[in-house]
Structure 1
Amino acid sequence: MTDFIRKLQQRQEKALAFVVNTYMPYVKVIAKKILQHSCGTGAVDECVNDVFLAVWQNSTKFNGDELEFKKWIGTITKFKAIDMYRKQKKNETVSLEHTKEQEDNKNGEVLYLRKEQKESILIELQTLPDTERELFLMKFYLDLSNGEIAAALGITKAAVENRLYRGKKKLATLPTIKERLE
């Protein structure tokens, strides 16, 4: 067994310093290859630190020569980097799911408010003459275009636009509608 491995197993800090100085480039290359594109350089540095901590903590479990030690430290690096990569991706997924959940809640609230407004506006539409009420229902509840409304009623598109304009003016004078329009 190589001298630095024996000293590392005896928890001599100089042996750890030797391992760090000797294997840092090797460990960093492996960590960068796995983490660089997805997690950034901060994750690479954190991974390298975790590797050397694991080497220090598990050195007594290692049995072999210097060549096997290099393979051992490379394997530790690979698994630490993969774990960090998975953790990062899991956090991103949780973050995206949380954002989507917030968006869904917000959309639900908006849909509820729109439904409530539509119901109260329907009550207000009862004050309009039948032809204007029919125009509003086709335009704002059935989402038909002015051209489609004109074709369905057998009138011109300009007539549809004028009647909608006059109807909006009438509705705007009602107190409950006026408050919503402001």
Structure 2
Amino acid sequence: MIITSENFIKHLKKGREEALDFILENYAGLVKAVIHNSLKNYNDPQIIEECISDTFMGAYENAKQFKGNEEDFRKWICTIAKFKAIDIQRKLHKVPQPSELDGTSNPVKSAEEEFLIKTSTKELLIMMSKLDQLDRYIFTMKYFLNMKNDEIALHLGMTKAAIDNRLYRGKKRLHQMYLGGILT
């Protein structure tokens, strides 16, 4: 069986290892870039490689939940990569840093960072799946591909104000879902 860009999603959903090989071959560079961007401060290639492996295994194991085309898959796997990197950051931050032990540092976190810390990866993916497709694209570009609002606006043919509004309303909706326990 030959796996192509037209049929890899179907075969991945069926659990075929050939489809996993296909996504490894075609998306490894993209996944590595997303993860490296998130974990580069740790200067540990082993952590980055482990996160890359976890990303592809997560995509393989959860492929049945994926809905969309090849472009949607690209964004989906980037989202998984970013969440896996966040999970690793959480684990690494549980170890007290020297500045935390002597009480000299108390960094202020943004609302997004606080929200991500308090919410598991799976919950965030479920909640994001409840957003409109356009809002999911905007959130993926903003928080997982680290694009600026004006870049997103240009890419989507929208105004920066429209992107700002959608981000604001989307964050508000995610927060309401989180507080309301709407995960199904």
The TM-score with structure 2 as length reference comes to 0.49
More helix by share: 1
Greater gyration radius: 1
